[in-house]
Amino acid sequence: MKCFLHSYNLRLLFHSICLFRTPVPLSFQLNSFEQLCINFTNEKLQQYFNRHMFIREQEEYKREGIEWTFIDFGLDLQAGIDLIEKPLGIMYILEEECMFPKATDNSFKAKMYDNHIGKSSNFQKPRHYMKRKYEAHFELMHYAGVKSSNKLLSCLYENFVGSNSDQKTGGKEKRKKAASFQTMSQLYKENLNKLMTNLRCTLPHFVRCLIPNETKTPGIMDFFMVLHQLRCNGVLEGIRICRKGFPNRIIYAEFKQRYHILNPHAIPDDTFVDSRKATEKLLWSLDIDHNQYKFGHTKVFFKVGLLGLLEEMRDECSAKVLTLLQAVSRGKIMRMELQNMMTRKEALVIIQWNIRAFNALAMDDALLQDQASAKERHHKEGDGHSEGGVG
């Protein structure tokens, strides 16, 4: 978990598109420190999701001047988060116990009970189960269910550098390392805080993956398990706020540019029209349910389905324009081809006429030559007869 969070934080330092997969919240009869960290990470990420989907969504309505009644979905996990990370919380008491040389799991358990039993609804004594092989120290109420925790204190020293014998023989360098070492919980909190800081600077898109059954067998759906995941992950509440609220919104300039094609005559081209006024005129000119959208200060908000309807209308208008453009283009191409054919036909006629004229002239020239030859022979024959008579 520590290495994963550190590498993810490094990638977020640059402009990038990142895919972050949330660890699956698991429920065991007994949970170690590692599982507590995993469940706490899920708690923080789920709180980030809840705030983005439910709190920020409704806060944006208020900023934009949309008439809206705030809805509390009961998904605030801050009490459970404070129980773990705030002063006198679980992590704080763990760190405090690390400073005492004779601290044990039982002493840690006693301090937890003194500080949280009866004071925090998310902290309670472990319930008795016959199937448990080991005693649980306490139970935490997570958004995904109740988690029983055990063996927390001993896990904090897994990455401690050096043993008791090393500290005795290592001199000043060993003592410096021992004085500056960090427990697992400190490193974990540091990396988790960096991750949450980076996530708050992003524009998130959420994809919820559901486990169909405990054995992950294909073709089998455990409906109660799926419904439990939908409730825990806030999906059902997300659907509720989408139905009641305005999940789609577009700034006025972008709406004017994209959907001007729906009714070009609604917005005059010869005069300048403000983007908001242009959006209002355009929407009022369309045959749609005008109760399905609201105008904010900088954006227009749509109920579920209306923006999809506008997109379908835009596709139809685009198809008509493209069809007309194709028809005009094909007509232009065919007329140009017809003109070329007529030009070629006229050229062929001229060529044929000239060839026929040339052939006719050639025949006339041959006839003239024959006539001239005949006259010449006739003249010679006439001269021969006259000379014979005189002798």
pLDDT tens per residue across span 360-379: 888 877 777 877 787 777 77
238-269 pLDDT per residue, tens: 788 788 888 899 999 999 999 999 998 888 87
Place of tokens 């898109």: 205
Two domains, one topology: 2-207 and 248-363: no
Helical spans, DSSP H, in the chain: 2-11, 33-50, 56-63, 78-85, 90-98, 105-116, 164-169, 171-179, 184-199, 223-232, 235-244, 252-259, 275-284, 306-390
Q: Could you tell me which residues are beta bridge partners of residue 248?
A: 302
Q: How many CB atoms lie within 10 A of CB 246?
A: 25
Name the residue type at position 86. Answer: K
C-alpha–C-alpha distance, residues 188 and 100, integer Å: 21
Residue 242: name the closest of 57, 66, 59, 45 by CA: 57
- Sole residue written with tokens 């200060």: 297
What does the block give as tokens for 278?
């242009």
Question: What pLDDT, on a 0 to 100 scale, did the predictor assign at position 349?
Answer: 93
Tell which residue, 274, 310, 275, has the closest CA to residue 289: 310
Segment 76-128, tens digit of pLDDT: 788 888 888 888 888 888 888 888 777 788 888 888 888 888 787 778 777 76
CA distance 286 to 262: 8
Residue 299: closest CA among 35, 50, 66, 36? 66
pLDDT confidence of 314, banded at 50, 70, 90? very high
Residue ranges per structural domain of the chain: 2-207, 248-363
Query: Can you tell me the distance from the alpha carbon of 331 to that of 211, in angstroms, rounded to the nearest whole number?
Result: 58
355 exposed, middle or buried (CB, 10 Å; 0-12, 13-18, 19+)?
exposed
CA separation for the pair 184, 176 (Å, rounded): 18
Dihedral sign of CA atoms 50, 56, 59, 65 in order: negative
Single-letter amino acid, residue 64: E
Give domain 2-207's CATH number out of 1.20.58.530, 3.30.930.10, 1.10.1060.10, 1.20.120.1200.
1.20.58.530
**167 to 38, 176, 191: CA distances (angstroms):** 32, 10, 28
Q: pLDDT tens across 210-238, in order?
A: 888 888 888 899 998 888 888 777 788 77
* 28: pLDDT strictly greater than 70: no
Residue pair 211/24 in contact (Cβ under 8 Å)? The answer is yes
Residues in the chain: 391
Higher-confidence residue of 131 and 124: namely 124
Contacts with 126 (C-beta within 8 Å, 6 or more apart), sequence order: 135, 136, 137, 138, 139, 148
Which pLDDT score is estimated for 332? 95
Domain 248-363 has CATH 3.20.20.20: no
Reported as a single tens digit per residue, the pLDDT across 161-177 is 344 434 444 445 544 44
Nearest Cα to Cα of residue 61 among 357, 300, 315 = 300
What pLDDT, on the 0 to 100 scale, is given for residue 171? 47
Is the CB of residue 224 less than 8 Å from the CB of residue 279?
no
Output b/e per residue, 209-238; b: 16+ Cβ within 10 A. Answer: eeebeeeeeeeeeeeeeeeebbebbbbebb
319 pLDDT tier (thresholds 50, 70, 90)? very high
First-residue to last-residue Cα distance in the chain: 145
Q: Using an 8 Å Cβ cutoff, are 31 and 142 in contact?
A: no
